Structure 1
Amino acid sequence: MIKAVLFDLDGTLLNRDASLKSLLEEQYKRLYQYLGHIRIEKYITRFIELDQRGYVGKDLVYQQLIGELNIRGISRESLHQDYINEFSSCCVPFPNLINILERLKERSIRLGIITNGREKFQMNNIKALRIENYFDTILISDREGIKKPNPEIFKRALSKLDAEADESIYVGDHPENDVLGSKNIGMLAVWKKDSYWGHAAADFMINDLMELLKIIESQEGSAYS
């Protein structure tokens, strides 16, 4: 029986691609006096390339952009701070986010988030999505002092949810941090499909969050209406 479902945040609950694009569009407009000499399409495209799905520090991304695109009159620190301050106002959820959380809560399934990143930044994004109150526990690597795929962060989350690994599901988009990280401690790993990563050795794959209900059904042997 499935007692707990845990989620990654970026690329799983939060549509980071859409959110980032919206943030960059607004940043370009907001800081047009510094960025207006660059075509907006070039600014956005180059940022996304350098960002590598969030796995490159934004200070380094902005440093590179300043040099490549001849940005003058504003520092990388100011650009980075603008990013931090404004990202949560541009958060875009994946379809059916609230719907799936409500359906899972109706079934008394315990819910958690495990996400890498800075505590305040990630909590602001969770609050912007209006999902904080659905979760019984939220673990953020900055606050925990460990990050995925370290098995200890998964074990810590399960302990807080009073659930065993073999009765829990983890849903995420990253083949190593999410899929292998959760599988390595015996959780059922569900890959939120993302063509950027190509492939993940998951137990299940989903395109839409609502597909989780069928996976839970297959594990419990009972149908949901």
Structure 2
Amino acid sequence: MIRAVAFDVGETLISDDRGWGAWADWLGVHRHTLSALVGAVVAQGRDNSDALRLVRPGIDVEAERAAMERAGHGERLEESDLYPDARPALTALRGTGVRVVVAGNQTARAGELLRALDLPVDALATSGEWGVAKPDPEFFARTVELAGVPAGEVLYVGDHPQNDVLPARAAGLRAAHLRRGPLGHLWADGEDARAADVRVTSLTELADVVRAL
């Protein structure tokens, strides 16, 4: 039985276009260039921030992020950054009676911005607020606490097999792989994505998935 559904953020609920576009503009490179580099480093199993280091070797990412904030080019999230199915799917899931939470690898500032969107969720937290990020098992232990039910009754939804599906399953949660965004498509047919309890192409499928599980 599924009593709680937990959502990743980037390329699950929101598009990452704005964030990476802001970095490209700040670093003075074409947006396509940075986008391609992000895909390349992640496909190599590296952290996506390594793309920034390829553009500017030796960059202190957090210091540069703070500089962007001071210059008025910091993180922003608006309703238009949500995928069209995000809000309807969250609402539909709550209508089934399950607890709906959000837990993703985002900054503490992103957590504030997400709360300002007033999403129909029961709880929300980010790795920046917790001080621990996926795929660390502690992140999923925190997610289970946020969900308020046993791990086996939590369905974690995300696009990244290595950051979402596999560590969620290893921590005892159920997992749904979402075929969305560069990474969700890149590994959609791979062994890691197939390890998910269910694979979906839209968040609107989840209410039926929860009923079935």
Question: Percent identity among equivalent residues?
Answer: 25
Aligned CA distance change for structure 1 residues 143 and 127 (closer, same or farther; 3 Å): closer
- Once residues 159 and 202 of structure 2 are traced to their aligned partners in structure 1, the CA distance between those partners, rounded to angstroms, is 12
Aligned CA distance change for structure 1 residues 130 and 60 (closer, same or farther; 3 Å): farther
Aligned residue identity for 1:205: R
Larger mean Cα displacement after TM superposition, 84-93 or 170-179: 84-93
- Once residues 116 and 53 of structure 2 are traced to their aligned partners in structure 1, the CA distance between those partners, rounded to angstroms, is 26
Please state whether the residue corresponding to 1:190 is helix, strand or coil: strand
Please give the residue correspondences for 1:204-219 in structure 2 after superposition, counting only pairs within 5 Å.
204-219=198-213
> Unaligned 5+ residue runs, structure 1?
36-41, 65-75, 220-225
- Once residues 102 and 73 of structure 2 are traced to their aligned partners in structure 1, the CA distance between those partners, rounded to angstroms, is 21
- Once residues 13 and 56 of structure 2 are traced to their aligned partners in structure 1, the CA distance between those partners, rounded to angstroms, is 29
Aligned CA distance change for structure 1 residues 89 and 6 (closer, same or farther; 3 Å): closer
RMSD: 3.2
Which of 126, 136, 143 aligns to 1:140? It is: 126
Shift of the alpha carbon at 1:181? 1.2
TM-score (structure 2 length as normaliser): 0.75
Which of 52, 56, 66 aligns to 1:63? It is: 56
Please give the residue correspondences for 1:130-209 in structure 2 after superposition, counting only pairs within 5 Å.
130-131=118-119, 134-193=120-179, 194-198=184-188, 199=190, 200=193, 201-209=195-203
* Contact kept in structure 1, 2:78 and 2:117, CA below 8 Å: no
Moved over 6 A (4+): 76-79
Aligned residue identity for 2:203: L
> Unaligned 5+ residue runs, structure 2?
58-63
- Residues 131-163 of structure 1, C-alpha deviation per residue, up to 9 Å, x if partnerless? 2xx232223212212211222221222223320
Aligned residue identity for 1:212: L
- Once residues 156 and 62 of structure 1 are traced to their aligned partners in structure 2, the CA distance between those partners, rounded to angstroms, is 34
- Once residues 50 and 68 of structure 2 are traced to their aligned partners in structure 1, the CA distance between those partners, rounded to angstroms, is 10
- Residues 163-216 of structure 1, C-alpha deviation per residue, up to 9 Å, x if partnerless? 012211110011111101111122111001121334312111111101112211
